[in-house]
Amino acid sequence: MAVSHLPSMTSLFEPLRCALDALATPVTFFFRDDDIGWDDDRLLELLDIFGRYSVPVDLAVIPAAISIGLARTLRARAEASPELLALHQHGFAHVNHEPEGRKCEFGSSRSAPDQRRDIDCGRRRLADVFGPIVQPIFTPPWNRCTEATGRCLRELGFAILSRDATARPLESAGLVELPIRMDWAARHKGIRLDHPQLVQHLSREIRASGPVGIMFHHTLMDTVERAVASELLGVLASHPRVRCLPMMAVVDEAAAATVAGAHDNGSGRCTGREAAKESQS
């Protein structure tokens, strides 16, 4: 980051620091970077920033786009630091199949067998290039999918679906949903929010209950955007009321807390990934 950026960066993130200072209890963050397989150079530059602050990040990988070379690099990094880098499936080819309306790879115009075929092909592709380290998480392109998608995911052994927090939860037993609450490339009426607007939005989100998921798109992040992201990660990594976890750890903690609460109440019920495991057995 250029020295000339430092004063403005400090001022930019002051609302976030104040909001974090005011918290009575720590807040959990997780990061998801989408569209892995596109613009590899920008991805690796962003990963270096996450590594600098030891903040974990989950990568949503496009199976049809990932190259063997990038797969080898990411697998080596994930195996060396599994607590900081995790990989999961991001659709199949990240292409739109809807003839009209909003873009969607797994939308209402596609049959369940067609969706299942693509998801399974993507699952097999990632298993081939990454081996057993791929997480049982599915992120649909554009954060959109259907009830049929949820059923296909359960049949294929996925445990977690990650979309935008505004999406209506699917009625798919055993499929845990871990939504994103902050899109760092968010738009309003087609215009991207500027950095002060993003910081204000994030400052409001941390006051709500539950983990705060932040979505990055490395393909949109030039030198300036990466500098802003670096400052954001620096603020979060250094604040005593912030915990940054991988997505799977967020789900595991929620499941453990639910199981503990159920046992305390004598119900013996569980949800989260524990429920997903039980439904598979």
Dihedral (CA of 186, 71, 95, 246) sign:
negative
231-268 per-residue burial string, b: 16 or more CB within 10 A, e: under 16: bbbbbbeebeebbbbbbbbbbebbbeebbeeeeeeeee
38 contacts: CB under 8 Å, gap ≥ 6: 62, 65, 219
CATH of region 22-280, choose from 3.30.470.10, 3.50.30.30, 3.20.20.370, 3.30.230.70: 3.20.20.370
For residue 176, pLDDT over 60 is answered with yes
Distance CA 39, CA 47 (A): 13
Per-domain boundaries in the chain:
22-280
Mean pLDDT of all residues in the chain?
A: 91
Could you tell me what percent of the chain has a pLDDT over 70?
Answer: 89
Q: What's the whole-number mean pLDDT along residues 145-170?
A: 96
pLDDT at res. 265: 63
Q: What is the pLDDT of residue 275?
A: 42
What does the pLDDT look like over 219-252, one tens digit per residue?
999 999 999 999 999 999 999 999 999 999 999 9
Contact between 154 and 175 (Cβ < 8 Å): yes
61-78 pLDDT tens trace? 999 999 999 999 999 999
Which residues, at least 6 apart from 56, have a Cβ–Cβ distance to it below 8 Å? 30, 31, 50, 83, 84, 85, 86, 244, 245, 246, 249
Residue 182 has pLDDT above 50, yes or no: yes
Q: How far apart are CA 131 and CA 78, in angstroms?
A: 11
